[in-house]
Structure 1
């Protein structure tokens, strides 16, 4: 702590001192396009449709590779399905990485790259951001070096860390002095950029190399702690917005207001920092303990503790439409899991995406580092009040635990039609198979052995310990809606559905 305190005091004292800025961070004014805001009622954004069309051949090839081991599945086309990775810090990122690795190798190889969408929030957004900005590489531990943590990324190399934080301080200061609001999320997002090698990358620059990536945050009006009615916000490479509010802005022009257009608010670190800004408390508490008096940082640090986790954007939806957002000057967003829905299912439930199934990877810390189904039950309540179709799920976490549904894969919605319950939910809870994967959400350093152990355990979890019957049932669940539409025989799925489907 003393080391970090000295480091931050030095870096914080440099506001206004010119430090070389290799990558532009502060948003810049740009010419406005003819139109950059739309209502979601118009259906999918053309850019999303184009992305999925471009990936059509890859999806078909990957799905064919997977389904060749499953003669009981008779489909001429690839069923549309998505994957959702929950929040939970590095635990969620690494367990989620392992799950995706398990869907990309072995008997389940082809499922990951056959998916249409990949959504993540908080720690899950770090996973999505890492893969999407690297053109969806093969998943290995070498993608992440977590030995030193975000606050001192160069370990005990004091001056390297000092230069790093001095550069971050300069970037935030430049953003502030160019007329933009700043928050603790700016610091957090830039720290994430270093950790995941994202400097200079924009969310709108991500190109089609895998499933359509979505990061999730939720709205929270400044000065309040009220979440649900403020909406779920999704960040995709083509647009940012909320289906509940029926408003979306082109991602490249996020933060533009009327005829004053800007580009740069979609900085990738800031996007995934917004999705995970519950972790702002790390720097908030550190700054407070150090008693920093620098006037610039004091405005950030000494504000309301209720607002320390808010990311500030100029409200592109000001005076647009009839939602509550139209009256606000700012768009204030917080961690995607702060509404209790720690698995980003809501974007994938949208009728416009028309998905048959969703693989839900739950790395939540509900009980001693492991999930208890709370996120799923929360989404069921949300769906019931927001006109979203959702599968029947247990009505309480007690029932989840009593039936052991939080310790093994389970499928929801098997025995209802898509018209009744929407996508089938394939629930994959984090569980210990060969590594203690219920690590603390606030564990910010992992040795390479720990990192690899987490990923290895996640891969085993999604395959249910290599259970061939589960593999068969995964194929059945992903294909069920499409086979029903085609009038295909599903009788060979009956026995595995009896084992894995909840009703």
Structure 2
């Protein structure tokens, strides 16, 4: 098969974009002269010398002042109901340290998580009336991976708009919204902009490849495509065919540049952390469960606007994010690079899960991918020797560090990929770092672990198992906790909100945060779309958003209760009780009767939690306010939607990706070899 694109400057010379196009490429830079650029060593809990990045500490201290005001506003007249002490006598440093955890799951997770954040937003009057509006403003951290990272990143680069504006756009505010109506790879009516779109993506990747020793892989292409759909710069459908829009669809937006935004300087946003896994040739052990691809012993990397690294004791080190891509040895920079930390690339890497099809030896991989990879080697092998195509390759900043301890101390490059391929699809690991002293974690779990694309508890069990692989005392996981997914589901924990670790540990050194677990288990199935979905109609976006909002605000109303508008009238109070529980203990005040009642209904103590809820606490009244999406969309919960048109079979998706890989490296090979093949006004850029 020959893939054809119209002859154009973009197709002829992607390594040399025109001067009016913002470039995607990183650049070599002079290393700082005022002292050596060095890796920050974090210390460990075992040595009692663990430290956080000073920039993070400064942000959290300032953020806690906002949390104090927000928490007071959120609880309002209900303060005495959830806290028996004198809240006004507390300082900002006394406030609970709350983390929001946004799971992976691509577009399913993106829409579920963003609707839940809308339920937690004090700017939404309905959420305030439901008792949850203010939780977002009262949080200090927000962690994400894969589809969750689409939200955390786009929210801040759009300067923290309301969640409905973020997703559906607002012309007055100058926000175009997420472009989910357009297929990730085939934008435009019937995909009519596909050719121009691909040509521009390839031009961007060609610029990166020609800028130096910067391998390009499918993760680059995936990240650039996501940037068009989630980051600022894509105004409408037609703009998918252009790369001369302002900023060229976020082509040059670095992740670290978010620290220059006004919303960041004002500390109006929880501190963001994105998780990324590594495909290490040196990791020991077997993957977790039946679906794991990477072993739990492998390092999980954190990405913040300031740093890239891990607190796991085998590494316990971070590199400055603006210098990601630089060459380090023994912790000191040898050759510096700027602008490698492209925002689209990094969320694309956190969601670049295509390695699973290779690692699981999928028949489609062996029959279709390997012939393609062989041809890529023929075209491009001399420029990227033995380069894996299903990972993002970056110079290892921790080369020659922790020799014999750190798994990749002798690897010059890291092969980074989707943060959930070790099965930890809920990004709670950073919130268990002891020095962060997190008191409560709200876990929004949109994992697709069952045949119905619903959670089964597997992700949390993976992190529990991860905690055992780490040296004792590294992190503490809440107890009690089920021992298997079968137990998790048989107890009903997959299908209802539940709190874990309510009573904490007797020893403060072994303490852990309270988990507030909210699973994406829609009894109507509307929100549980396939991970393979690449495009969603506006109507279906609305249906998913509305149903997800209801799941976040309803509390426990009984297993498989399809009346999404029915809710526990005390759910907001119960969440607040969990949020302040560790603060209450530190202050030595008595738990209120309301919180005692809440904990008896929501805290897991090992018992079955599928019982009939207290009917006196249930209501279907949402007051006279409109619901989750106030204007112009209808907020009534949906019972069914036809997603078949937009949900791709996984094999079809992989076939498309194979074609793109061939196209990408066909272009690169042809250009680098300076061969020219023209046919009837079109250029053949790849064959298979």
TM-score when scaled to structure 2?
Answer: 0.67
In structure 2, what is the Cα distance between the partners aligned to 1:147 and 1:275?
Answer: 22
**Paired residue for 1:381?**
465
SS at structure 2 position matched to 1:427: strand
Task: Give the structure with higher Rg (CA).
Answer: 2
Change (3 A) 1:7 1:362: farther
CA deviations over 1:324-346 (Å, ceiling 9, x no partner): 33211001112100001110011
> How far is 1:395 from its partner?
0.8
In structure 2, what is the Cα distance between the partners aligned to 1:23 and 1:279?
Answer: 28
**Paired residue for 1:174?**
207
In structure 2, what is the Cα distance between the partners aligned to 1:414 and 1:93?
Answer: 28
CA deviations over 1:104-133 (Å, ceiling 9, x no partner): 132211111211110111111111111122
CA deviations over 1:182-201 (Å, ceiling 9, x no partner): 21111111111111135121
In structure 2, what is the Cα distance between the partners aligned to 1:439 and 1:312?
Answer: 31
8 Å contact kept, 2:182–2:188: yes
Change (3 A) 1:435 1:401: closer
**Paired residue for 2:258?**
206
TM-score when scaled to structure 1?
Answer: 0.91
SS at structure 1 position matched to 2:493: coil
> How far is 1:56 from its partner?
3.1
SS at structure 2 position matched to 1:213: strand
**Paired residue for 1:72?**
81
> How far is 1:144 from its partner?
1.4
8 Å contact kept, 1:12–1:294: no
Q: State yes or no: 1:308 paired with 2:389.
A: yes
In structure 2, what is the Cα distance between the partners aligned to 1:5 and 1:431?
Answer: 42
In structure 1, what is the Cα distance between the partners aligned to 2:341 and 2:6?
Answer: 26
> How far is 1:150 from its partner?
1.0
Q: State yes or no: 1:483 paired with 2:584.
A: yes
8 Å contact kept, 1:281–1:308: no
Q: Which segments of 5 or more consecutive residues in structure 1 lack a partner in the other structure? A: none
> How far is 1:227 from its partner?
3.4
In structure 2, what is the Cα distance between the partners aligned to 1:453 and 1:472?
Answer: 27
Q: How many residues align?
A: 499
SS at structure 2 position matched to 1:426: strand
8 Å contact kept, 2:17–2:207: no
**Paired residue for 2:221?**
187
**Paired residue for 1:217?**
276
Q: Which segments of 5 or more consecutive residues in structure 2 lack a partner in the other structure? A: 44-49, 122-126, 169-176, 233-249, 284-292, 328-332, 359-363, 556-565, 606-688
Q: Which structure is higher in helix share?
A: 1
Change (3 A) 1:266 1:129: same
**Paired residue for 1:48?**
56
SS at structure 2 position matched to 1:481: helix
In structure 2, what is the Cα distance between the partners aligned to 1:154 and 1:303?
Answer: 36
**Paired residue for 1:37?**
39
2:345 to 257, 260, 270: 270
Change (3 A) 1:275 1:294: closer
In structure 2, what is the Cα distance between the partners aligned to 1:338 and 1:379?
Answer: 12
In structure 1, what is the Cα distance between the partners aligned to 2:381 and 2:136?
Answer: 44
> How far is 1:371 from its partner?
0.4
8 Å contact kept, 2:294–2:421: no
**Paired residue for 1:366?**
449
> How far is 1:5 from its partner?
5.7
SS at structure 2 position matched to 1:273: helix
> How far is 1:396 from its partner?
0.7
In structure 2, what is the Cα distance between the partners aligned to 1:67 and 1:8?
Answer: 60
